[in-house]
Amino acid sequence: MIFLYTFFTIRPLNYFSICEFFTKSLDGDTGINRPFETDIHKPTYIDPGLMQKNTVSTNHGRVKVDKKDTENFKYYTYMAQPIFPLESACLLSKYLTAEAFEKLRGVETNMGYTFSNAIQVGAEDPSSLIGVTAGDEDSWTKFKDIFLPIVKEINGVDASQKCDTRVSNLVVGDADRKFLAECVTSISFAAARNLSGAPLLPGNSFPEEVESDLKEIFSGFQGNLVGTYTPLSEFTDDQKLVLQESGALFLPPEDGSKMQRSGATRNWPDGRGLFKNIAGWALCWVNEEDHCRIIVNEESANVQLAFSRFAELSSAFSNNAKTTGHPIMMSKDLGYLTVCPSNVGTGLRVTFVVDNLSELDKIKGDATSLCSSRGISIKQSNGKWSLQNKQTLGLSELEIVQNLVDTTLALGKINQKLAFGGDVSVDFHSPNADESNEFALTELNSNLTRRDSFYAVGDKKDTGEHRYLKYSVSIFHQLTTTLLQ
């Protein structure tokens, strides 16, 4: 079962939390950080307040000895393997074996980011659900023995970078487009981008240098992308509140969050800011979690328009990064490299906000299970549903968007059937039995990955380019996953 751990809100978007909250079980429930009630659940170490700085623990504890320390934040150096409670869901606890710790404990990247730095989030908070952060590009090489198994558990693959932003290959029929217009209220694309050669925020003591490089990239935008960059310090509190409530600006870091524990926010708000194009649909968040998060917001159901604008923004950012001498941090196998292992690959999160599906309230658990089986996280708030992709590696941008379109359409058809008193727990009809059947979905493009838990393949009329789907399994009681090639 593929896990991807994500949390998102309809508005405002809080991407500081996106890697700390994620699916914790096979039935699609959203995981919440669970507080530990007693000290025995915490890692074994000595309170650094009892030690003098620059001393070494003789009790297999932790010490505060790091050249990146600031007045407001101290990194820890772990002299012995942190011990996690048995019930810990932290992925670090699963892969940080005694052998792995001994092998990596003294390893440091070429920019001075240590293995202790990389595991500090999980070691200090066993309830964090990933537990590691990259401090620079070299982290993905030096700490691969821990990072890659975590990536594989999240995405189901550990090295399968794919890229495809060809909007013309997105399959949305006229009837589908009409239905989406009736229920989808907004669409957002958000993708992490980091600059090669610069330390990532958990290991970066001078975020202003990255900010300066990004401003140079923004200044090269042309046409529809021309806009203005504003440092976070220049916004008034009222301006920030308005922007945050509209989802245009990131929220400040929370105490105890992954980014705070990793040291990524120790210089807040220095080097942070917001780029916004004149039309307002293109945004770039500077030094929020990664160096830059490129965002496209569309207040309609026009998924082709939103996708094309994202492709335009992504391409312009990449091209300008190259011409200004600040190429994007990438790996041949892992794609875009990021602070959190849950974002590598496309680095992309696509969110559909859906309304007018009130009938789904009757089957919330089943709807959640259906979405989970398709690799989609679903969250309900104020009568609306937010759908977001879990997987970022192993799927292209096109496949991510297509899967969200298909899942939204499937939920809509189920909602429609429920409105007319239909029984959605019964087996669906074969698509060739009645062409007008609302559930007669077909595989329109065999090159796109479909993750439907309720159909099988195999029809005498199949061709190499088209496959009929046979709905032979109850989707809510016998969920399975069939992957069409």
Looking up residue 118, the CATH number of its domain turns out to be: 1.10.135.10
Going by pLDDT thresholds of 50, 70 and 90, the confidence category of residue 126 is: very high
Same domain, 370 and 396: yes
Same domain, 317 and 226: yes
CATH label of the domain that carries residue 339: 3.30.590.10
Tell me if 24 is assigned to some domain. no
Residue 13 is predicted with a pLDDT of 43
Same domain, 389 and 453: no
Q: Please say which residue of 410, 435, 457 terminates a domain.
A: 410
How many secondary structure helices (H) and strands (E) does the chain include?
Answer: 12, 16
Tell me if 4 is assigned to some domain. no
Q: Span 252-281, mean pLDDT?
A: 94
Tell me if 206 is assigned to some domain. yes
Going by pLDDT thresholds of 50, 70 and 90, the confidence category of residue 425 is: low
d(CA 23, CA 32): 9
Tell me if 9 is assigned to some domain. no
Q: Span 273-288, mean pLDDT?
A: 98
Tell me if 249 is assigned to some domain. yes
Q: Are 44 and 83 in contact (CB under 8 A)?
A: yes
Q: Span 353-375, mean pLDDT?
A: 90
Tell me if 159 is assigned to some domain. no
Q: Which domain holds residue 68?
A: 39-154
Maximum Cα–Cα distance for the chain, whole Å?
A: 77
Q: Please say which residue of 378, 410, 442 terminates a domain.
A: 410
Q: Span 430-446, mean pLDDT?
A: 30
pLDDT over 50 (residue 431): no
Q: What is the pTM of this model?
A: 0.76
Same domain, 299 and 181: yes
Q: How many degrees, rounded to 5, is the angle at CA 112 between CA 89 and CA 63? A: 60
Q: Are 362 and 325 in contact (CB under 8 A)?
A: no
d(CA 431, CA 307): 29
Tell me if 177 is assigned to some domain. yes
Going by pLDDT thresholds of 50, 70 and 90, the confidence category of residue 363 is: confident
Q: Which two tokens stand for residue 380?
A: 């309900």
Same domain, 44 and 126: yes
Q: Span 42-51, mean pLDDT?
A: 34
Q: Among 67-71, 100-104, 281-285, which is the least confidently predicted range?
A: 67-71
pLDDT over 80 (residue 33): no
Radius of gyration of the chain (CA): 23
Buried b (16+ CB within 10 A) or exposed e, 55-88: eebeeebbbbbbebeeeebbbbbbbbbbbbbeeb
For residue 195, which phi and psi values (nearest 5 degrees)? -95, 125
Tell me if 457 is assigned to some domain. yes
Same domain, 150 and 76: yes
Same domain, 326 and 186: yes
d(CA 135, CA 340): 10
Q: Give which of 412, 371, 422 is closest to 23, Cα–Cα.
A: 371
Same domain, 285 and 400: yes
Return the percentage of the chain with pLDDT > 70, whole number.
Answer: 74
Same domain, 145 and 204: no
Spell out the long-range contacts of 30-35 with Cβ–Cβ below 8 A and sequence spacing 24 or more. 30/377, 30/379, 31/5, 31/89, 31/129, 33/125, 33/127, 33/128, 33/129, 34/89, 34/127, 35/127
Beta-carbon contacts of residue 428 (< 8 Å; ≥ 6 apart): 439, 454, 455, 471, 475
Map tokens 């780029």 to a residue: 275
How many domains in the chain?
3
Going by pLDDT thresholds of 50, 70 and 90, the confidence category of residue 445 is: very low
Residue 183 is predicted with a pLDDT of 94
Residue 56 is predicted with a pLDDT of 32
**Which residue blocks in 254-363 are alpha helix, DSSP H?**
258-262, 303-323
Same domain, 311 and 178: yes
DSSP single-letter state for residue 315: H
CB atoms under 10 Å from CB of 205, counted, come to 14
Coil, strand or helix at 295: strand
Same domain, 328 and 429: no
* Average pLDDT in the chain: 80
Same domain, 274 and 386: yes
Q: Give which of 273, 294, 304, 298 is closest to 349, Cα–Cα.
A: 294
Please report, for residues 158, 185, 266, 284, the alpha-carbon distance to residue 334 in angstroms, rounded to integers and kept in the order given: 7, 33, 28, 23
Q: Indicate the length of the chain as a whole number.
A: 485
pLDDT over 60 (residue 44): no
Peptide bond into 199 cis (omega under 30): no
d(CA 294, CA 238): 24
CB atoms under 10 Å from CB of 300, counted, come to 13
